[in-house]
Homo-oligomer: A and B are copies of this chain.
Amino acid sequence: MPKRHLTDPVDLLREHGMQVTVQRLAVLRAVSQRPHLTADDIEKMVRTEIGTVSRQAVYDTLAVLTANGLIRRIQPAHSPARFEDRVDDNHHHVVCRQCGRVADVDCAVGSAPCLEPAHRHGFVIDEAEVMYWGLCPDCQIAR
């Protein structure tokens, strides 16, 4: 009896007590294959793959996957939310001001960059999010 790899999407869902459905697997596959897609892009990909899916199902699925930590939601300003399956590591993002493209970056400062603000104003801080802004290679050429 072959031992299944832990990151098998089916096992992943089961481990979190979630039912296994075609839609969920398709959403997981889409997010995994092409990180930083928008909900709309994911909806299109899933529909292409399994024929039909409602927008609501996509949003619900993304929400429940996010809540269970299987995927991560990032929301740059002036852009719809984007999703990625790279979780459990402390990485950040660089966003193109022109086309909205997103890429992963690791911060050079360390594994927990800037987690210590000078004054925390009584806030209990649980996350530091770093967003780099600039122009992607394509948009530099287009100038």
Interface positions of A (Cβ within 8 A of B): 75, 77-78, 81, 92, 94, 96, 103, 105-109, 113-114, 116-137, 140
- For this chain, the copies found in one complex come to 2
A92: chain B residues at CB < 8 Å are 114, 117
Decide if B106 touches A135 in the complex (CB within 8 Å): no
A116: chain B residues at CB < 8 Å are 108-109
- Most B-side CB within 10 Å, residue of A96, A116, A130, A140: A130
A106 and chain B: residue at smallest CB distance:
B118
Given A109-B114, A123-B94, A130-B128 contact (CB < 8 Å): yes
- In the assembled complex, the CB of A124 is this many whole angstroms from the nearest CB of chain B, namely 5
- In the assembled complex, the CB of A123 is this many whole angstroms from the nearest CB of chain B, namely 5
Decide if B136 touches A123 in the complex (CB within 8 Å): yes
